[in-house]
Amino acid sequence: MKKSIQTKILTGLLIILACSCVDKNWDNYYVKPDYTVSGNTFEILAKNSNYKEFKSLVKKTGYDSLLRSPNLYTVFALKNGAFAGIDTVSGLAALKNIIGMHIAPSAVYKEDLVNNAILGVSGKLLKFAAGTTGYTVNNLKITSSETRTANGVIYEAEKVIMPVASIYDVIFANADLTSMKDYIGSSYKAIIDPINNIKIGFDTLNVPIYQAPVKYIQFSEYLSIARPQDESILTTGFLPSNKAVSKAVADMLVANGGRPDMIVPRLGTKHGDTLVGGRFFKSSVTYVGDTVVLLNNLFKSVLVRGEIPALASATNSFTNILGGTINVAKTQVKTDAKVASNGYYYVLDDLTVPEILYRKEFMFLPTPRIPGPVDPLITIPNPNIIYSNEANTSPAVVTSISTAAANPPYTFNVTTTDKTVTGRYTRFNLTKVGGMVDFIIPYVTKGYYRVVLGYIPEANNGMVSASYGSQQLIQNMNTSTQLNSRALLYVAKDIGTINVLNHGAVQIKFTCTNSNPVTFNQFTFCVDFVRLEPVPAP
């Protein structure tokens, strides 16, 4: 029995050995698809006499090295004679851009030709679609089925796929869009090159110190957000002509009640606390100017993600890249939709500018005394602060702040046992429940605003309520340090939204609603500013 088993095992091993000697190349038992052995993409092109001219141009531009490589590529080949009337001799760079439109760095198979897009090796977008008559690439018919190769796929296009300008290129080439072009050109700033510089430390303000020589690179915040030059993002631009931009800037003056003094100009960083056009800027804060702010928001608001090849109705609304709404009427359009490499664009001779773009922040500083109208060295009580029910200005109420530091002009930098207070504010004594102080912002353009109160919380356990006319804003706000872990540090508090119906003064009232003061049996309220921030209509 044992011998019989051994015999059977030996016989089986001999059979296996015999079979293995028949053919040691196991690959012969796997049948490869024809396209994997037929040749690379360039070799297949070269074998087709219909593509002789196209193959020659591919080789002339050096793209044949790509199509011979093991990487996957898709080619949209052209029959002989397709380049009639196109200069393929004088400019190699221009020719590379054209041939590069016919090569994609990926294998785009038939199922990928439906509502898809990919960047060609020229850097321009190739957009695919499927319709009742077949497939298209950049709106040109694909006239053959796919031919697979060892490293990609070949189709045949009906015509030459010419490079098309991006929306960014259009802006810089169109003489009717120079206002937008000039703005983009001025939006660049130089920043330290983070790659080619070595950080060796920090200065006293915690600003990095770099090893010399410092190198800078150009950067545009506008382009980084709007991205009209990005070939990988489909965008529709409703581009305002020079005429439309001039009208928008002129309308800004009208929206501000026709007051040129309310149009704030550009302001650099080399200044102290400054009032310009009735607006306050803290020391070293940059403001680029009302006109620039308008244009910055205007040029972002006219860009919409996605492709809009036609306007559906007489008036149209779209969501722009800011998340807001752009309204476009057919009567405002100077040109119908034109094709860009990364979408479509319209040129507008008029534009409905969102009302909020014509407004800016308004800030009130509660300085108790201001320079007099006759002699600025002689100060007078600020007429834009109104005290009621025994309220007054009491700068020396809190004993933890030194009397000298708290005296006018109420600007200080005081270190307590564990906190540092830095700011410009006024301390009000509301005295009792019902004590009131009104702040009057002399001029505000009409519209909706968020009211923001800047204050320093103190150990007073007090409550204050705010109102705008008959409208109640925040009620029973606790200004005590007990409810704020950032004791003695600056706090900005949103206290409500108001609708200013007409150009003119805005009056915000603050009323003491409860107090249990720590010292002096008085209620203190330390105010740095009241700021009105524009918001869209609800």
Do 292 and 427 fall into the same domain?
Answer: no
* Per-residue confidence band for 386, with pLDDT thresholds at 50, 70 and 90: very high
CB 425 within 8 A of CB 408: no
- The better pLDDT of the pair 519, 96 is held by 96
Mean pLDDT of the chain: 84
Domain stop point among 156, 182, 216: 156
Do 349 and 374 fall into the same domain?
Answer: no
| Nearest in space to 142 (alpha carbons), one of 120, 127, 164 | 127
Do 122 and 252 fall into the same domain?
Answer: no
Do 282 and 419 fall into the same domain?
Answer: no
Do 51 and 181 fall into the same domain?
Answer: no
Q: Indicate the number of domains in the chain.
A: 3
Q: Hey, which of 327-336, 354-363, 408-417 has the most confident mean pLDDT?
A: 327-336
CATH number of the domain encompassing residue 449: 2.60.120.260
CB 117 within 8 A of CB 136: no
**Average pLDDT over every residue of 375-390:** 90
Do 338 and 368 fall into the same domain?
Answer: no
Q: How far apart are CA 354 and CA 449, in angstroms?
A: 15
Residue 11 within a domain: no
Residue 445 within a domain: yes
Q: Hey, which of 25-39, 101-115, 513-527 has the most confident mean pLDDT?
A: 101-115
- The better pLDDT of the pair 531, 285 is held by 531
Do 517 and 488 fall into the same domain?
Answer: yes
Do 147 and 220 fall into the same domain?
Answer: no
Q: Tell me: pLDDT of 131 over 90.
A: no
Q: Tell me: pLDDT of 411 over 50.
A: no
CATH number of the domain encompassing residue 74: 2.30.180.10
Residue 431 within a domain: yes
151, HSE (Cβ side, Cα atoms, 13 Å)? 20
pLDDT at 283: 77
Q: Tell me: pLDDT of 528 over 90.
A: no
Do 509 and 375 fall into the same domain?
Answer: yes
Q: How far apart are CA 499 and CA 446, in angstroms?
A: 7
Query: What is the domain extent for residue 280?
Result: 168-358
Do 212 and 292 fall into the same domain?
Answer: yes
**Average pLDDT over every residue of 472-478:** 92
**pLDDT tens profile 430-468:** 888 889 999 999 999 999 999 999 887 776 777 899 999
Q: How far apart are CA 162 and CA 53, in angstroms?
A: 17
pLDDT at 521: 47
pLDDT at 163: 93
> Please, which residues have CB within 8 angstroms of residue 240's CB and are 6 or more apart in sequence?
177, 179, 180, 248, 298, 299, 302, 348, 351
Token reading at 268:
């650099």
Domain stop point among 102, 127, 156: 156
pLDDT at 6: 55
Residue 333 within a domain: yes
Residue 5 within a domain: no
Residue 27 within a domain: no
* Per-residue confidence band for 286, with pLDDT thresholds at 50, 70 and 90: confident
According to DSSP, the residues that pair with 422 across neighbouring strands are: 413
Do 172 and 270 fall into the same domain?
Answer: yes
CATH number of the domain encompassing residue 244: 2.30.180
- The better pLDDT of the pair 407, 219 is held by 219
Domain stop point among 334, 358, 382: 358
**Average pLDDT over every residue of 414-440:** 69
- The better pLDDT of the pair 384, 16 is held by 384
Task: Give the least confident one: 10-14, 346-350, 366-370.
Answer: 10-14
Residue 20 within a domain: no
Residue 449 within a domain: yes
Do 424 and 502 fall into the same domain?
Answer: yes
- Residue 236 CB: number of other CB atoms within 10 A? 25
